[in-house]
Chains A and B, each alone.
Chain A
Amino acid sequence: MTNRNNISRHYTKWGYIFVLPFVVIFLAFNFYPLICTIWYAFCDLRRFDNPGPRFLPTIGEPWYRNFQQVFEAVSFRDAFKNTLMFFFATTIPEWLLAFWLAAAITDRRLGIKGKTLYKTAFIFPKLISGSTLSGLLLEHLVMFTASTVGFVYVAAMINGFGFEMQDFKFFFSNRFLVIVVSVIIHFGITFIYAVAGITSIPVEVFEAAEIDGANRPQTFFHITLPCMKPIMFFISVVALVDGLGTSDVPSAFGLFDTLRLCLTMNMYIINQAYMGSYIYDRASAASLILLGLIGIGALVIYFVFIRDKDEAKLRKMIRKEKREAKRLKETA
Chain B
Amino acid sequence: MSEIRHERTILQQRDLKLRIATYIVTILITILVLSPFIIWLTTVGYTATGEMTERSELQKFIANPLKRILRYWNQVVAFCESPLLISLRNSVIVTGSTCIGCMYISALTAYGLTAYEWKFRKALSTFIVVVMMIPTTMSYIGYYKMVQDLGLINNLAMVIFPTVASPITVFFMKMYLQATFSRELVESARIDGAGEFRIFNKLILPMLKPAIATQLIFCFSQSWYDTYLPAILLIKDEFRTYGVAYSIYVIKPMIITVAPPIIAYLFCAKHIVEGVALGSVKQ
Instruction: List chain A positions with a Cβ less than 8 A from chain B.
Output: 8, 11-12, 14-19, 21-23, 25-26, 28-37, 39-40, 45, 53, 101, 104-105, 109-112, 114, 117-137, 139-141, 144, 184, 189, 192-193, 195-197, 199-200, 228-231, 233-234, 237-238, 240-241, 244-245, 252, 266, 269-270, 273-274, 280, 283-284, 287, 290-291, 294-295, 297-298, 301
Contacts and interface: CB of A to CB of B under 8 A. Distances in A.
Where chain B touches its partner, the secondary structure class is: helix
B258 A133 contact: yes
Nearest to B137: A245
B15 A290 contact: no
Contact of A29 (B116, B165, B168): B165
Interface in B215-254: 217-218, 221, 224-228, 231-232, 243, 246, 248-254
Interface in B81-128: 105-106, 108-109, 111-113, 115-119, 121, 124
A201 B18 CA distance: 22
A17 B144 CA distance: 29
Contacts of B124: 19, 23
Given A40-B145, A130-B243, A237-B132, 6 more contacts: A15-B115, A16-B118, A31-B139, A36-B145, A129-B221, A184-B33
A120 B140 CA distance: 33
Contacts, number: 267
Nearest to A28: B161
Given A18-B200, A23-B124, A109 B15 contact: yes
Given A40-B145, A127-B265, A231-B280, A132 B257 contact: yes
A321 B231 CA distance: 58
- List 4 tightest A-B contacts by C-beta distance, closest first: A130-B225, A36-B142, A18-B112, A15-B116
B252 to A, nearest CB: 6
Given A25-B161, A121-B30, A196-B280, A31 B250 contact: no
Contact of B141 (A111, A132, A287, A301): A287
Contact of A34 (B142, B144, B164, B248): B142
A284 B141 contact: yes
Contacts of A284: 141-142
A280 B185 CA distance: 52
B18 A104 contact: yes
B218 to A, nearest CB: 8
Interface in B250-283: 250-254, 257-258, 261-262, 265, 269, 272-273, 276-283
Given A131-B225, A274-B232, A136 B109 contact: no
Contacts of B249: 135
Interface residues of B, number: 96
B143 A105 contact: no
Given A29-B161, A40-B145, A140 B36 contact: yes
B58 interface: no
Contacts of A29: 143, 161-162, 164-165
Contacts of B37: 124, 128, 133
A117 B142 contact: no
Given A136-B39, A137-B36, A234-B172, A33 B146 contact: yes
Contacts of A136: 36, 39-40, 253
24 contacts: A12-B119, A16-B118, A17-B112, A25-B161, A30-B139, A32-B142, A33-B140, A33-B141, A37-B139, A37-B142, A101-B25, A112-B23, A130-B225, A135-B251, A139-B50, A141-B32, A197-B277, A230-B282, A233-B283, A237-B132, A237-B133, A241-B134, A245-B135, A295-B133
